[in-house]
Structures are given as structure tokens and as C-alpha cells.
Amino acid sequence: MYSIIVHGGVGAVSHDKEEAVIAGVRGAVKAGSDVLASSGSSLDAVETAIKILEDNPLFNCGTGSVLTFDGEVEMDAAVAYGPALGFGAIAGIKNIQHPISLARMVMEKTDHVLLQGSGAQEFARMMGIAPHNPITEERRVQWREYREKFLRGDAGDWPKLKALMKEHPEFMHGTVGAVAVDEKGEVTAGTSTGGVFLKLLGRVGDTPLPGAGTYATKFGGASSTGLGESMMRTLITKTACDFMRMGLDAQGASSGAVNMLSNILRTEAGIIVVDNQGGVGFAQNTPQMAHAYFKKGMSEPVAGL
């Protein structure tokens, strides 16, 4: 018994990129499932899958992350290890290739849960992580164009910025995550993101906060995507894990968690879930959420939008 599911974020995917995005999540889940098939741990599988997505500039994480209002890339990532309620996260990290790996180091090599900003940067240096520029030219061009619109007053505050996102929903597409259970029944969840396009410098979203964007217990794990402020207010991934503790399977937990958020805040949300019996589930209240999953016994991953 093992299984893994990944997501590439909610929001619209432009038609010309649909096949590439689906191929991206399929490749990530295949890499993670290969780890599980070789008797690897759920922790290794989740890290492996997310690193694949962090290297793919189609997704808003790692290389290809969206830029802040000031033209920087500030990335967040987290990993949650269910059996021990382990959690490691970094926030506002710059100039590294794989934020998910640094988040794992926080969990395994420190007594802390979350490192941010300059402290996270210094920790990366201590761990021997090589500098890496995650800014792509495509993101730089987008930043110049939409920052100019913002400064002209086309999006002068959060409600107007949300309107801009509706006009160009591809900017909501991006946060990536993976959840897996291995042959031992141990569940791990991970999430990585570049955050919200044109966010204020220093903004921290839901990804690195336990129970908001990422969470795992002995019953199951979850990774969410969407408007992070809503995830923080509802603790959507902890809600999903609590549903599994109360007896729901992965699909029931994912549907219940998204329905709860939708009824309270009516904002964009998506979630992927794995339970400790190998069940996988996913739900979203948007037209699309790139996702792929694989369970022991399947011949090929299932992937779609």
C-alpha cells in the first residue's frame, strides 16, 4: 500500500500551456511514486516530487516564482511528517533552487518549526546550499506590465488586485504540493510557493503555517492552494486532517474542507489529501486545479486539470 498525489495550483491555465502543465504534474507524481515503489519513505517521495515542480518554470514555486511588488522573489515552503507531527518551514527565502529541501532541513536539523527572512537565508548558507536565481525573464516581463497597471490605479488595493487576478487568472495558478503515504503507513505532506503576484515585500502566506497550507498527522495529510489569507483564516489542511481523524476517507475530507471554506469565505481554494489507508482525494471550487496521482497497482498516473 502506497500512494501519492500532487497539485500545481488552482486558477486558469491558458490553453496553449495545458498539455505542458499536465505533463509537469504527471512527471512529478511519477518521480515520487518511483521512490515509494523502491520502498522509499513518504518524506523522500514528497520532496522528490516537489523538487521536480520547483525546477519547472510553468509553476509558481522555485524557478519561475512570481515577483513581489518590488521585483523580488520571496518563496515559502513547508513539509509535514504525520507520525511525529513533525513540521519544518521557511518563509521569504530568496535565491535558492529548492525551498522544499531547506524546509525539510529545518524539521530534521533544528528544534524549530519555521525560519524566515534573513534567518532562513543564513540557515541555507550554513547548510551549504548554493545560490540560485529563480527569476525567469517571462516573470520579469509580466511584473513590469502589471506593476505599471497597478501604479496607474488599475489595481490600487486588495479588492482591485483580486479583480486583476480575475482578469488574468493565470497568476493565481502556481502553488505546488504533494502528499504521500508509504508502505509503512506513514504520511507526509509538502507545499512550495512563490506567493501571490505583486504581493507586498515581506508578505507570508499559508504555505509555511501548520494547518493552513500544509499539515499531516498519523491519520492523513493535506496540501492546499488558492488565496493564502483564506487558508490561514480557516486552517483548511488541519480541517481535512481532523475529518480523517473522525473517520472520513481522503476524498470525503478534501470535499468537506473545501466546502467549509467556500461557505465561510467564498474565495478560491483547492486541496489534495492522502489518508493512511492509501486513499487519495482532491477538491477545488475553481474551474481548474492541475493535479496527478498514483496508487500502488496502477499502471500509469492519472493527471488532469
Helices 99-109, 117-126: axis angle to 10 degrees equals 80
175 is catalytic: yes
The burial of 182, by beta-carbon neighbours within 10 Å (0-12 exposed, 13-18 middle, 19 or more buried), is given as buried
Would you say 228 is a known binding-site residue?
yes
Q: Are 170 and 11 in contact (CB under 8 A)?
A: yes
Would you say 88 is a known binding-site residue?
no
**Count of C-beta atoms within a 10 Å radius of residue 222:** 36
Residue found by looking up cell 517521495 in the block: 45
Would you say 206 is a known binding-site residue?
yes
**Count of C-beta atoms within a 10 Å radius of residue 156:** 11
Distance (Å, whole) CA 134 – CA 70: 15
Among 175, 214, 237, 286, the one annotated catalytic = 175
Would you say 198 is a known binding-site residue?
no
Would you say 48 is a known binding-site residue?
no
Would you say 225 is a known binding-site residue?
yes
Would you say 176 is a known binding-site residue?
no
Would you say 203 is a known binding-site residue?
yes
* Strand ordering across the sheet containing 214-216: 214-216, 220-226, 269-275, 280-284
Annotated binding site: 203-206, 225-228
Annotated binding site for substrate: 203-206, 225-228
List residues with catalytic annotation.
Answer: 175
